[in-house]
Amino acid sequence: MTATLPGIEVRNPVDGTVVGTVANQAPEVVADTARALRRHQPAWEALGPDGRATWLRRYRDWLLDNAERIADVVAAESGKPRAEAVVEVPAICEVLNYYADNAATFLADERVKPSGVLSLAKKLTLVRQPYQLVGVITPWNFPVITPGFDVVPALLAGAAVLLKPSEVTPLSALEMARGWREIGAPEVFAVVTGAGDTGQALVDNVDYVQFTGSTRTGQRVAHRAVDRMIPYSLELGGKDPAIVLADADLDRAVPGIAWGALFNAGQACVSVERVYVEAPIYDEFVARLTEVVGKLRQGADAGGFTVDVGAMTTEAQRDIVVRHVDDALTRGAKATVGGKPTGPGLFLEPTVLIDVDHSMSCMREETFGPTIPVVKVADAAEAVRLANDSAYGLSATVWTRDIARGVQIARRLEAGAVNINDAAANLFATTLPHGGWKSSGTGARLGGAHGLRKYTRAKAITVPRVSALKREPLWFPYTARRIRFVQKAFQFIAAHDVRRWVRL
């Protein structure tokens, strides 16, 4: 008999009010849900890419028709401003349109050319078949975008999908599942809610895991997936550097870095968390950045787009940011603006820190909050060295008027993506992969055809071009004459040297 677990309250970080309660589903419930999804997956796969795309386009229409309601839910459970909540649905709809339009091409069988004479006698075909059940585990910072970026391509690939959102922001995912039901789509997408045990049960019941979240939890997911011999993809933490060269256009670099560091209150894996500025413009950059950050509007958003920076989503995350700021100030850093918790609610003032160095936690650990530590560097070489001095490598930015030089620097940075004169732009380039280096993860999402094919298994099929032979030369029984002939033939084929051919 399944145990009844206490429900989980979902609170608004702005004022602490309860906005919903969800079930803390036991492992047995997760297993039952997984079995149900598996029963429906073969028929879903049989629809083919075009048939599945038809359902996904209906789903897109439902999402757009209900976008304002979903934005209400996103804002209420995450504490983000309305301006940031309303972009989540359109963002996943763009991904949906791209993959729906291209699914048939990306998943089509491929005729493969022979590699040489040894395979010349065969017709070679590469086919792709979906994993039956894909598990997606997502964090609380982007409650619609993050699951959407993975659920949509997995469904289009032909898999059934089981989504486990963060227990902090599960209501948005439940809205996504409600939409799938309301359009009458096949029962191949479901959401389970709960804490860590629910996520563990998901990993134990699927054929492929896509995890987005902290490095520590991602490592546990990877270990369990390896134990089960199932593939996985991880997008983990970040400590993204920004390099500001002396020739940078500060009219763009300053607001760009301010937004790149502080959108979603800095609670983004691709947030700018370290800024390295060449000495000749350092003072001007800091003065301008302090002015921009000091004018940002923070507080409760009544829906009128009057707030720039919202609340921290969890008390635990706010406490981490406070610890980083306090550690920096204790070690000699200065806050040119901000630096204090404020409230009511889980707010922390947008903060600019100067006189920081790599001995401080705000420069080495993932902060995931509204802080901008700024370091003066002598030149680009020092900036690159410090930018690469991190356990993380998700993304980075370079700010310069010399685009060619910016690209050269980008090639030297140890990160999965580098944006020139922009922040987070790669997230919305569906044709580019989004993945991290080092402790920022393994594998990637999106990336054109890769984003769909990652949820499929490749299968090689060989067919004889002619059927004249009753027995292949290497089949039993072996004879000295036949094996010597085959040996000489193989050597002749492999040799790319006239002298060897003559000897043979």
- In the prediction, which pLDDT does 68 show? 97
Give the separation between CA 74 and CA 141, rounded to whole angstroms: 10
Which residues does 89 contact at the CB level (< 8 Å), separation at least 6?
63, 64, 67, 70, 71, 144
Give the separation between CA 210 and CA 452, rounded to whole angstroms: 13
- In the prediction, which pLDDT does 490 show? 85
Terminal C-alpha separation, the chain = 74
The mean pLDDT value of the chain amounts to 96
CA distances from 172 to 65, 234, 329, 446 (A): 15, 22, 37, 21
User: Is a pLDDT exceeding 60 seen at residue 1?
Assistant: no
Q: Which of 357-371, 442-456, 469-483 has the lowest mean pLDDT?
A: 469-483
Q: Which fold has domain 20-236+448-457?
A: Aldehyde Dehydrogenase; Chain A, domain 1 (3.40.605)
Token pair belonging to 100: 């729906």
In 120-207, beta strands by DSSP E: 122-130, 133-137, 160-164, 189-191
Give the separation between CA 462 and CA 120, rounded to whole angstroms: 11
- In the prediction, which pLDDT does 504 show? 63
For 159-166, what is the mean pLDDT?
Answer: 98
- In the prediction, which pLDDT does 4 show? 60
Interstrand relation of 437-438 and 456-464 (parallel, antiparallel or unpaired):
unpaired
In 368-450, beta strands by DSSP E: 371-377, 392-393, 395-399, 417-420, 433-434, 437-438, 441-442, 445-446
Beta bridge partners of 161: 134, 189
Which residues does 13 contact at the CB level (< 8 Å), separation at least 6?
78, 79, 310, 311, 312, 313, 314, 345, 346
In 37-188, beta strands by DSSP E: 110-112, 122-130, 133-137, 160-164
Q: Which of 202, 382, 166, 347 is nearest to 266 (CA)?
A: 347
| Domain residue extents for the chain | 20-236+448-457, 240-424, 469-503
Looking at the chain, the whole-number percentage of residues with pLDDT higher than 90 is 90
> How many helices (H) and strands (E) in the chain?
18, 24
Give the separation between CA 295 and CA 475, rounded to whole angstroms: 79
pLDDT band at 466 (very low <50, low <70, confident <90, very high): confident
- In the prediction, which pLDDT does 302 show? 80
Q: What amino acid occupies position 382? A: E
The answer to whether the predicted template modeling score (pTM) of the entire model surpasses 0.85 is yes
For 194-220, what is the mean pLDDT?
Answer: 97
CA distances from 300 to 33, 370, 415, 491, 492 (A): 38, 16, 35, 76, 77
CATH of domain 240-424: 3.40.309.10
For 361-387, what is the mean pLDDT?
Answer: 98
Backbone φ and ψ of 455, nearest 5°: -95, 15
Q: Which of 269-278, 301-310, 318-327 has the lowest mean pLDDT?
A: 301-310
Which member of 45, 77, 88, 235 is catalytic?
A: 235
pLDDT band at 3 (very low <50, low <70, confident <90, very high): low
For 236-256, what is the mean pLDDT?
Answer: 98
Bigger pLDDT: 502 vs 42: 42
Interstrand relation of 395-399 and 417-420 (parallel, antiparallel or unpaired):
parallel
HSE, side-chain direction, 13 A CA sphere, residue 249? 10
State yes or no: is 235 an active-site residue.
Answer: yes
Quickly count: other Cβ atoms within 10 Å of residue 90's Cβ.
Answer: 12
- In the prediction, which pLDDT does 500 show? 75
